Amino acid sequence: MVRRAARSRDAEFTEYAMSRAGWLRKVAYLLCGDWDRADDLVQESITKLYVNWSRAGRVENRDGYARTVLVNTFLAEQRTSWWRRTRTGVTAPEEAAAWTDVDVSLDLRQALAALPPRQRAAVVLRYYCDLSVEQAADVLGCSAGNVKSQSSRGLDALRRSFVDRSVEGSRV
């Protein structure tokens, strides 16, 4: 009986993980700006999710739980010195952009990558994942006011980045 329950649990987890891996990868990419690193973040998050699958089964919103695990994994990695020591600045070729304006897509990715981790997480959660201020605060483990200020600062930095690029482009 225990084996059957374990198989059922594993099958349920596998089905969930396979159906949400692409979405988690996109969110991870927006957080870190590197497809290979996004894959690593998703793998680590899915492993953590598997370990805590019984807890995830009790929550009302599994996607929210998975997203929280992913964001927390990303933020925890940012606090470690390992990432700072191993970051080489060399990037692998990226996948083809889905947008028709590739230049805008690349500019947005560069500008997003330049944001500090908590601002980037707040912007991604609010405007890509379409979470409310309260939901984003829940994921980030901070106050709604903190999410508002991080989002505002992040959007201001993104705007400045695009204004700076358009001014540089008009000079050429």
Provide the residue-wise pLDDT of the chain in tens; the chain has 172 residues: 556 666 788 899 999 999 999 999 999 999 998 999 999 999 999 999 999 998 888 888 999 999 999 999 999 988 876 555 455 454 554 554 444 555 666 677 888 889 999 999 999 999 889 999 999 999 999 999 999 999 999 999 988 887 776 656 655 5
Domain presence at residue 95:
no
In this structure, are 82 and 2 located in the same domain? Answer: yes
Domain presence at residue 93:
no
Burial class (CB in 10 A: 0-12, 13-18, 19+), 24: buried
Pick from 34, 55, 86: which residue ends a domain?
86
Domain span at 117: 100-172
In this structure, are 137 and 164 located in the same domain? Answer: yes
Domain count, the chain: 2
> At 133, which CATH number?
1.10.10.10
Domain presence at residue 55:
yes
Q: Encoding tokens for residue 15? A: 């089905």
Burial class (CB in 10 A: 0-12, 13-18, 19+), 158: buried
